Chain A
């Protein structure tokens, strides 16, 4: 019994010490982050990159961290890396205007410019939704809609049983509305989540690279891509060679070292 009492007394202390450890880690992280900003402000971009990368190695990340890394690389004239990190930031915060703005400026520097033909407006809207949809927000919205739908349905049943009066019309209208929005959002969210989980994008980091017909240095050069162009990784061989596709129709092989992965 005595042991139990001692353990019970020690438990909060342990929790407190764990809390304190976490707090210390966070304080240290915040300090590092601030040092990074300070280095950036003093135009010491190399130091800033080093500090921000230290934070990244702690397995804890944020869109702000990626965004700042993108800025540092941009200042260092490493356009590929800058785009890579801004794209990483965009995955965590798809609708943040600063990221989109910086990316738009970076894209103006790209040498490989592809102008795609206009698509059907509905597809354009769908693609825009997918690009800008924050998954965590949409998942929550679907949950709230589901809850509201259940509330309306349950409220209708209980109200009808209690009072004997039916308010079927209103309940069906409201419920259908929730259900329709929920279904639409669910379709988009599921599709987006699947796409994002399977899609492996990467950015060309070298100024100019040859895309080859097979994973060998002496293979035929199919086309050339320049720094900052975003490609899709179809498959890779022992993390050395990657089979990439550029706008669906151009496929070839490239050494992994020339690529900066967006999705880790």
Chain B
């Protein structure tokens, strides 16, 4: 019974293995059978139930495709109906280089003495989706790219810039791509992905597109011939439109955009060789330039340095040439020129200025003449070589002995410029004469302000003391001045005033006097009598007359007089 069970288990495992072996195979699929040349597709190798499957494949499709990504690998294991299956995938992102029907060949893999083979198949690559190339009934794509070359033919060594332009009818939120750092046959000067490109709107075949140059590539060809500038894939993130959120979307970080892989198509470029007969002053400069030559001093002392400066101003391949080697007299010590660059990529090529400074040190005195400074460049605007020629002034080198007693020759250029001016003319008159022993500190004229300040200070102190004393002896002063104050008050009384006013003034004058003299009215019956009379009149203004008031005034004055006498 036990033996029978063992047999059964063995047969079962064997069957399982056999069934597994039967399912071993390799397949190759393309993500799309028909697509446009601007699209990126995936080629997927699937190794089913094969252990130790390869991680990469030699595609050998470079004539028809550019591999832009991969190999990516993924593995999958599953157990279905008691049957274990495994699959390994090797994936490549590719872009077609040409249109038409392209045959994907069969690939053979030899793994553990077994040979597996994929089936060949055909894929169809359509032309670019640009408006002019649309077939009848073919719909315009929502988003596509163009590669814009400034011209079909460039010269070897000429710097140029191509642009990648995006056409979109959808809302683009972001875009990325891998930068280009090398390219066969070219120096990559710069690959630039624009952060915020300027855009325009245009209607193409009845569909409105937003057009933006999202990237640029500046190249300088190093070889001549026909070149294919490869297609450039971009990943464009566009906003999802009209799509409802599902319950499964993350409520906080839900993705509201989708990524689209799109390709700026490849283009061909002819790189021409420069014509011959350039001459020795040509060092590879292509563009349009002007030259400026200056020397800081043409009259120098032996062993004194002078600097020759050559400036090249213009546009072209400024990064990729140097200034022709210059030869000077053997009597001059010459150093490596110092190069100053002040240019930048601007539009199609470099624009700005390059300067070369040659430091020359003469060893012997004498007069030296130099050859003209020559510079040849290939003019793009004229399509021929042009030579710039600048003559150099002769340099006079003088010995040290010659300089003795000669001030001018020992001066720097700035100083020489100053000496070319003259002293100012004499003064025509004397405005302020002083004694020979004049001393500003002792000059009384300068001290006036101090005296004034002292006078003011003295006045302020005096006034301060006076006012303080006055405040202190206020009562005594009032006592002494009582009569004066009262008389002044009584003099203010005029006959044309009303009776009430006169009465008030008499009362004020009299009361002030009594107060200043510190007299208590109750002790003097006469005074008390006058005060009572005033009070009476105040309550009976009808009985008032000027005569009565005069009498009252006289009475008050008489009493004051008597008090003063006492």
Contact = CB atoms under 8 A, between A and B. Distances in A.
Nearest to B454: A150
Interface in B499-541: none
B203 interface: no
Interface string B417-449: 011011111111111111111111101011111
B446 A105 contact: no
A52 to B, nearest CB: 9
Contacts of B435: 59-61
Interface in A98-116: 98, 101-102, 104-106, 108-109, 111
A60 B436 contact: yes
Given A101-B423, A153-B460, A154-B459, A139 B431 contact: no
Interface residues of B, number: 42
A68 B423 CA distance: 11
A210 B390 CA distance: 50
Interface string B215-229: 000000000000000
A193 B430 CA distance: 25
Given A139-B446, A147-B449, A157-B460, A98 B427 contact: yes
Nearest to A106: B423
A146 interface: yes
The winner among B433, B436, B448 for most chain A CB atoms within 10 A is B433
A150 B440 contact: no
Nearest to A99: B424
Contact of B449 (A105, A108, A140, A153): A140
A135 B441 contact: yes
Contacts of B445: 136
Nearest to B412: A108
Contacts of B111: none
A129 interface: no
Interface in B213-259: none
Interface in B316-369: none
A60 B434 contact: yes
Given A60-B434, A140-B446, A143-B449, A158 B460 contact: yes
Contact of A64 (B430, B437, B440): B430
17 contacts: A60-B436, A61-B435, A62-B434, A71-B423, A92-B432, A102-B423, A105-B418, A108-B407, A136-B443, A139-B447, A143-B448, A146-B453, A147-B449, A147-B450, A147-B452, A157-B464, A161-B464
Interface of B: 407, 411, 415, 418-419, 421-441, 443, 445-450, 452-453, 456-457, 459-460, 463-464, 467
Interface of A: 29-30, 33, 37, 40, 56, 59-65, 67-68, 71-72, 74, 92, 98, 101-102, 104-106, 108-109, 111, 134-136, 139-140, 142-144, 146-147, 149-151, 153-154, 157-158, 161, 193, 197, 264
